[in-house]
Amino acid sequence: MINTTASDGKPIVPNFPVTPRPTDLTQRTPASRAACVIIGDEILNGKTLDTNSHHLAGLLFRSGISLDKIEIVPDIEAEIVECVRRLSEPESKFDLIFTSGGIGPTHDDITYQSLAKVWDPAGELEYDAETITRMDTYMSGRNSTAKLNPAQHEARRRMALFPKMDREVLFVVPHLWVPVVQLRRRLFILPGVPTLFTQLADALVENYIPLPPKANQPHRQFVVTSLTESSIAPCLSRFATQLAPAGIKLGSYPNFSSGQVTISLIGPDFSQLSKAALELEHQLEELYEN
């Protein structure tokens, strides 16, 4: 039995065992493309700023996976089902699909019940015993838990009511009872609370997803200029065409506060990328002098 209350009466954060890292991870085909579905009316009506997709994009980029699509859908079952079903089609070619939001205890938290219907019209659900055990252990040292009536306890248990279909429940962070529910090996269901999403996503990607070799992961460099974006546009167009065969992409981002333009270069080969950045700097210097 895990002790959840300290001598001073304050709750102790339990240290749960995590799901073992797959032993065959390095033998699996590495993931290369991903999609993200942000679920919640609060995002669409402007109440809440979505930071989860931004965090995921950076995390996947650093891991060598391209986040190619982000969609935001309301708390409507049909919309959630349609979106995830479409992204799951073979022609979409996404190796990974992440969802964020809608897994809490209230009436508008409908992500689990919706995703259960993506591949199973009956949408069967079942309680996960291990999740309930961890939830109860985590909550047992908190005074608010003792005051819950049966209806409130049942509402909390909804957070452990998962799709019955082909799934795996991954406990990836030792101090959190909240798992990542994985459906059909490539759909990952995460909470919308940013602090939880960030911790779970970081641990999930690092330890449970087959990543490309380090040598295949992209690199990024920046070149900053005080020239206006309009004045450098023809130069960038020519340079982008020149670099395309090497798989190097250019992006231009003006900052109106500083009056500078930041040019991003992304490519698979660090040496080539460094040479390209130096060449671009040289071309912009010539443009500035003329």
Where are the chain's structural domains? 25-208, 219-289
The CATH number that domain 219-289 falls under is 3.30.310
pTM for the predicted model, two decimal places: 0.90
Arithmetic mean of pLDDT over the chain? 93
Mind listing the pLDDT tens digit for each residue in 275-288?
Answer: 999 999 999 999 88
Chain segment 20-41, per-residue pLDDT in tens: 999 999 999 999 999 999 999 9
Q: What percent of the chain has pLDDT over 90?
A: 87
Cβ neighbourhood burial of 71 (10 Å; 0-12, 13-18, 19+): middle
Distances from the Cα of 146 to the Cα of 53, 139, 141, 165, angstroms:
36, 9, 9, 33
Cα 49–chain centre separation = 15
CATH classification for the domain delimited by 25-208, as one of 1.10.10.10, 3.40.980.10, 3.40.50.360, 2.60.40.10: 3.40.980.10
Q: Give SS3 for 78.
A: helix
Q: What is the DSSP letter of 11?
A: B
210 and 31 Cβ atoms separated by less than 8 Å:
yes
Confidence of residue 1 (pLDDT cuts 50, 70, 90): very low
pLDDT surpasses 70 at 5: no
pLDDT digits (tens, 9 = 90+) for 172-196: 999 999 999 999 999 999 999 999 9
Q: What is the length of the chain?
A: 290
232, with CB counted inside 10 A (0-12, 13-18, 19+), is buried
Structure tokens at 159: 């957070």
Query: What's the CA gap between 103 and 91, in Å, rounded?
Result: 28
Please choose, from the candidates 124, 100, 97, the residue with its C-alpha nearest in 3D space to the C-alpha of residue 113. Answer: 124
**Look-up of token digits 């248990």:** 157
167 beta partners: 183
CB atoms closer than 10 angstroms to residue 58: 11
Is the distance from CB of 105 to CB of 143 less than 8 angstroms?
A: no
